C-alpha cells in the first residue's frame, strides 16, 4: 500500500489522505507526520480527510494524538474536510477530541495556522 503523501508548503505540511486507512497505516502515518515536523521544521500540519466517508474511533483518536504530538513539537495541526456524516458519527460515539482544530476548507485551515486562531468568517449572502 502506498503511503499517504506529505507535502511541504512553506512552513506547513499538507497531508492528504486519499483512501481509507487500515489501523497499521494510521500508526505509520502518525510516525511519519511527527518525524516530518522535526525534519522539515514545520510550524503547521494540515490533514485533509475530505475523501473519507468514515472516521472510526481509532482514526479519530489518532488524529487527536497527532495534534497533541505536533503541539509538543511546536507545530499546530488542523483537520480539514470533515463530512457532516463523519461529524455526526463522532458525536454519536461520544468522542470528545478537545484540542483538535478543524476547518471547512484548506483556505480556512491555513488562516488558522498562520493567524494562530479561528478563521475570520464573512457573511454569506
Least confident interval from 2-6, 9-13, 44-48: 2-6
Asked if residue 88 belongs to a domain, the reply is: yes
pLDDT beyond 90 at 123 = no
Total number of domains constituting the chain = 1
Element of type H or E holding 59: helix 57-72
Closest CA to 102 of 113, 88, 115: 113
Asked if residue 1 belongs to a domain, the reply is: no
pLDDT beyond 70 at 114 = yes
What is the value of pTM for the model shown?
A: 0.86
Asked if residue 85 belongs to a domain, the reply is: yes
Using 50, 70 and 90 to split pLDDT, how confident is the model at 119?
low
Q: Is the dihedral of CA 63, 64, 68, 71 positive or negative?
A: positive
Give the pLDDT score at 117.
55
pLDDT beyond 50 at 9 = yes
Asked if residue 125 belongs to a domain, the reply is: no
Asked if residue 124 belongs to a domain, the reply is: no
pLDDT digits (tens, 9 = 90+) for 12-42: 999 999 888 878 888 999 999 999 999 999 9
Least confident interval from 47-51, 86-90, 93-97, 120-124: 120-124
CA angle 24, 73, 110 (to 5 degrees): 85
Asked if residue 107 belongs to a domain, the reply is: yes
> What's the domain range around 77?
6-116
| Number of helical (H) and strand (E) elements in the chain, helices listed first | 4, 5
What's 104's domain CATH number? 3.30.750.24
pLDDT beyond 50 at 1 = no
Give the pLDDT score at 116.
62
Asked if residue 83 belongs to a domain, the reply is: yes
Asked if residue 121 belongs to a domain, the reply is: no
Say what percent of the chain tops pLDDT 70.
90
Amino acid at each position: 500500500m502506498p503511503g499517504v503523501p506529505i507535502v511541504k508548503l512553506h512552513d506547513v505540511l499538507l497531508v492528504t489522505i486519499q483512501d481509507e486507512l487500515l489501523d497499521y497505516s494510521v500508526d505509520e502515518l502518525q510516525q511519519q507526520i511527527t518525524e516530518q515536523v522535526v525534519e522539515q521544521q514545520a510550524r503547521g500540519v494540515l490533514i485533509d480527510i475530505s475523501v473519507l466517508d468514515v472516521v472510526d474511533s481509532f482514526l479519530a483518536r489518532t488524529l487527536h494524538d497527532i495534534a497533541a504530538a505536533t503541539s509538543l513539537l511546536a507545530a499546530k495541526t488542523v483537520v480539514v474536510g470533515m463530512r457532516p456524516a463523519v461529524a455526526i458519527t463522532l458525536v454519536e460515539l461520544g468522542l470528545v477530541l478537545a484540542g483538535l482544530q478543524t476547518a471547512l476548507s484548506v483556505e480556512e485551515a491555513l488562516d488558522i495556522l498562520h493567524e494562530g486562531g479561528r478563521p475570520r468568517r464573512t457573511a454569506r449572502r
